[in-house]
Amino acid sequence: MAKIIVITSGKGGVGKTTTSAAFASGLALRGYRTVVIDFDVGLRNLDLIMGCERRVVYDLINVIQGEAKLQQALIKDKRCENLYVLPTSQTRDKDALTSEGVTAVMDELRTEFDYIVCDSPAGIESGALMALYHADEAIVVTNPEVSSVRDSDRILGILAARSRRAEQGEEPVKEHLLLTRYSPKRVEGGEMLSLQDVKELLRTPLLGVIPESEVILQASNQGIPAIHMENSDVAEAYKDVVARFLGEERPLRFIHPVKVGFFKRLFGG
């Protein structure tokens, strides 16, 4: 039986899709049969980040509306043997995603996969609620910035009250905090909330810290999930996140500023 993980945040643009792609790829690299689902109906993007946009024929909504079989909509990843992508539709009909439909898709996927990763849309409306409803675990993606922290707190409250586990009185959704776009240098300068600050404010166990990095743009430009960007800090940081998620101990890395020489600072580099 698969474990269902939602990647959520409340606030938009904090790195959910980037994280969904990297995290799902990481689980597959570790040998787990994994599927990553785009819940952002109308704003399909996971396909681009995964680099499979030209292979989309059917999507989640087609499956829900009975126009395609699940097997027809699943796209096999070209880099990882055990990974599949379930894209969403570009429809503007917000009611296309029904809770019965999502439940049916989850029930079918659950028997085939080890992990189901759900890339949530921003906000706290129906799309975000559907993405988190079935979750066993949640990764709350947060930037070290006031509005992101506040929205993460909101979404933590919603996970505790509106998920299937909450409604059915089961053990609560296991929550993880993932700090992304972290700039150790700005934290050291007292300009940015530190990881200790955010941990303390949100009272949620920290799964990892992903540094702010230009490699993310190089990755998205090419449709390569960040975890495949060899020798980069973000790839290493995402690998650590996957390892910790699987229960391994990994010390936090990339949380201290890299010392830059005087000349590099003077002339840029």
Q: Where does this chain bind Mg ion (CB under 5 A)?
A: 16-17
Residue 160 in contact with another protein, rule: CB under 8 A: yes
Q: How far is the CB of 269 from another protein (least distance, A)?
A: 15
User: Using the rule CB under 8 A, is 257 a contact of another protein?
Assistant: no
The pair of structure tokens assigned to 268 is 């840029």
Quick one: what does residue 18 bind among ligand ATP, another protein, Mg ion, none, with the CB cut-off 5 to 8 Å set by partner type? ligand ATP
CB-nearer residue toward ligand ATP: 110 or 150: 150
Q: Which partner from the list another protein, ligand ATP, Mg ion, none does 12 bind, CB cut-off 5 to 8 Å by kind?
A: ligand ATP
To 10 degrees, what angle do helices 16-29 and 233-245 make?
A: 70
- Number of residues in contact with another protein under rule CB under 8 A: 21
Q: Which residues bind ligand ATP (CB under 6 A)?
A: 9, 12-18, 40, 121-122, 180-181, 210, 212-213, 216-217, 220, 234
Provide, rounded to whole angstroms, the least separation between the CB of residue 200 and ligand ATP: 22
* Cβ(41)–Cβ(33) below 8 Å: no
Residue 234 CB, nearest distance to ligand ATP (Å)? 6
Residue 119 · residue 39 · CB < 8 Å: yes
Least Å from the CB of residue 141 to ligand ATP: 6
Asked whether position 166 contacts another protein by CB under 8 A, the answer is yes
Q: Are 162 and 130 in contact (CB under 8 A)?
A: no
Task: Choose from another protein, ligand ATP, Mg ion, none: what does 62 bind? Cβ within 5-8 Å by kind.
Answer: none
Contacts of 78 (CB under 8 A, 6+ apart): 51, 52
Q: Which residue has the tokens 């840029």?
A: 268
Task: Enumerate residues 171-230 that contact another protein by CB under 8 A.
Answer: 187, 189-194, 197, 201
CA–CA distance from 233 to each of 92, 161, 179, 184 (Å)?
Answer: 37, 36, 14, 13
- Cβ–Cβ < 8 Å for 227, 25: yes
The least CB distance from residue 23 to another protein, in Å, is: 26
Whole-angstrom CA distances from 34 to 92, 101, 103, 175, 197 are: 28, 20, 18, 20, 33
Residue (of 69, 24, 91, 31) closest to 51 by Cα position? 24
Window of 70-78, 93-101, 130-138, 151-159 that interacts with another protein by CB under 8 A: 151-159
The CB-of-13 to ligand ATP minimum distance in angstroms stands at 4
Q: Which helix (H) or strand (E) holds 242?
A: helix 233-245
Which residues form the interface with another protein (CB under 8 A)?
Answer: 145-146, 149-150, 153-154, 157, 160-161, 166, 187, 189-194, 197, 201, 265-266
